[in-house]
Amino acid sequence: MYLGVQFRGNVGANSARSWFTHSWPEQWRVVWMVVPTGPVQDRAPQLEWKVRAERQATNLIKYYLEIRNVSSTPVDVEARFAILE
């Protein structure tokens, strides 16, 4: 397994942002995780996310990540991936 960070960003309070990342080899089994990196809190979830995929070429995949901030303050985020195979 290989782990990494694809991007960092910020999502405004009670809003959503979308990113995409392209040219992933189609034979890789990729899992996406999104985590808040700030502000620190310990009361309720801050984020939800959705991943969609498109075959951009015969051997390449493009991923679309929509990250929704469900809190009342802006949240810094990190999009992490795990390549399982």
**What is the reported pTM?**
0.94
| pLDDT single digits (tens) 16-71 | 999 999 999 999 999 999 999 999 999 999 999 999 999 999 999 999 999 999 99
**With contact defined as beta carbons under 8 Å apart, do 7 and 79 qualify?**
yes
Q: Cβ of 11: how many Cβ atoms within 10 Å?
A: 23
Cα R_g (the chain), whole angstroms: 14
Q: Domains along the chain?
A: 2-83 (2.60.40)
* Interatomic CA distance for residues 23 and 42, integer angstroms: 37
Output the CA angle 27-31-75, nearest 5 degrees.
Answer: 145
